[in-house]
Structure 1
Amino acid sequence: MTKTTSPDTVRWLTSDQQHAWRNYLEASQLLMAQLDKELRETHQLAIGEYELLVRLSEQPEHSMRMARLAAEVAISRSRLTHIVSRMESRGLLARSTTCGDGRGVLCTMTDAGYRLLEDAAPSHVTSVREHFIDRTDDAHLDACGEAMEGIVTHLRHVRRIDRE
């Protein structure tokens, strides 16, 4: 849903909006880089790999179709395939065809993947708390959560439209 807009019809950001936008960009990039660095140093696990393990841990039998997993973590199917291949070679994940239609591919967290998640979760949560949660008060955190939920809902809708 990309539109070409002429400069005279753009709703330009106010100074406050520009400030908020740039702070959001810098904070999110710095936060993800720091969380990734800490997970890699302590558990040899990238932040994206950790997120896959978390998503799978929340599913029955720790399994999910690859297409759904890609949609949930908001990455392309080809990017997911690359990450899963790397994790599969480390014994953290396994792939199989789905029973129902034989076309889909099921991604399953192995026991080794679950153990790594259990080992990494306490230090990761501590990092999230140190670098994000404890940097603001509850009211601002609630407002941030509500704002991000609205943005996620909007962008998931846009992505669905673009795929149709």
Structure 2
Amino acid sequence: MTNARWLDPEERQAWLALLAVTTLLPGNLDGALQREGRLTLFDYNVLAMLSEAEDRTLPMSELAARTYASLSRLSHVVKKLEQRGWVLRSQCTADARVTMAALTDDGFAAIEQMAPGHVESVRQAVFDGLDRRDVADLERIGKRIVHQLEPSSWVLREPRINS
């Protein structure tokens, strides 16, 4: 006999909706970025996190945390972005064991060029169908799920911009 805690009908419907979003959204946003700049959503997120960091530079470990990536996955993507001249890796001057990733001027120009199209894709895919209460609920629910999965998540520490 199993002790499975089966989903009730409402939980099942919520789960199927979340599963559909997590399956459909990345492909939708990847497609727009591929057309715009031959990037994946993950590549774009790496550039975006660097563009928002002080001096456009982060330790690779912090960049991995902000992008929810393993260091090996991040290293692979940063290498690809380095080859395009958009990111530069170097040793930290304060601790030689730490590798830093910095967004170059060309990388910043690239993300500035792609950002309007990406934001429009996000708006069309997600926010145009929601009202302000839905947006607040999405943030609240998303952060609660992230907290269960990754209690030390960067997104949970990030202050609200217009709170």
Instruction: Could you list the structure 1 runs, at least 4 aligned residues long, displaced by more than 3 angstroms after superposition.
Output: none
- Which segment drifts farther, 74-83 or 150-159? 150-159
- Report the 3-state secondary structure (helix = DSSP H, G, I; strand = E; otherwise coil) of the residue aligned with 2:150: helix
Given residue 130 of structure 2, which amino acid in structure 1 is its aligned partner? Answer: T
- Out of 23, 42, 53, the position equivalent to 2:47 is 53
Partners of 1:120 and 1:82 in 2: how far apart? Answer: 21
Partners of 1:30 and 1:147 in 2: how far apart? Answer: 19
Question: Do residues 134 (structure 1) and 128 (structure 2) align?
Answer: yes
- Report the 3-state secondary structure (helix = DSSP H, G, I; strand = E; otherwise coil) of the residue aligned with 1:94: strand
Which residue is equivalent to 1:39?
33
Which residue is equivalent to 1:85?
79
Partners of 1:62 and 1:158 in 2: how far apart? Answer: 22
Aligned-pair distance for 1:149?
Answer: 1.0
Partners of 1:158 and 1:58 in 2: how far apart? Answer: 20
Question: Do residues 157 (structure 1) and 151 (structure 2) align?
Answer: yes
The C-alpha deviation readout for 1:104-136, integer Å capped at 9, x for no partner, is 100000111100110000011111111100112
Partners of 2:17 and 2:62 in 1: how far apart? Answer: 31
Partners of 2:37 and 2:3 in 1: how far apart? Answer: 50
Given residue 120 of structure 1, which amino acid in structure 2 is its aligned partner? Answer: M
The C-alpha deviation readout for 1:32-90, integer Å capped at 9, x for no partner, is 11111001111212111110111111111100000111111111110000000011011
Question: Do residues 25 (structure 1) and 19 (structure 2) align?
Answer: yes
Tell me: CA distance 1:158–1:119, structure 2 relative to 1, closer, same or farther (3 Å). Answer: closer
Tell me: CA distance 1:100–1:112, structure 2 relative to 1, closer, same or farther (3 Å). Answer: same
- Report the 3-state secondary structure (helix = DSSP H, G, I; strand = E; otherwise coil) of the residue aligned with 1:107: strand
Q: Which runs of 5+ in 2 are unaligned?
A: 154-163
Q: How does 1:70-109 map to 2 (within 5 A)?
A: 70-109=64-103
- Report the 3-state secondary structure (helix = DSSP H, G, I; strand = E; otherwise coil) of the residue aligned with 1:95: strand
Given residue 95 of structure 2, which amino acid in structure 1 is its aligned partner? Answer: D
Partners of 1:65 and 1:138 in 2: how far apart? Answer: 35
Compute the RMSD of aligned alpha carbons. 1.5
- Out of 99, 124, 141, the position equivalent to 2:118 is 124
Which residue is equivalent to 2:159?
none
Which residue is equivalent to 2:137?
143
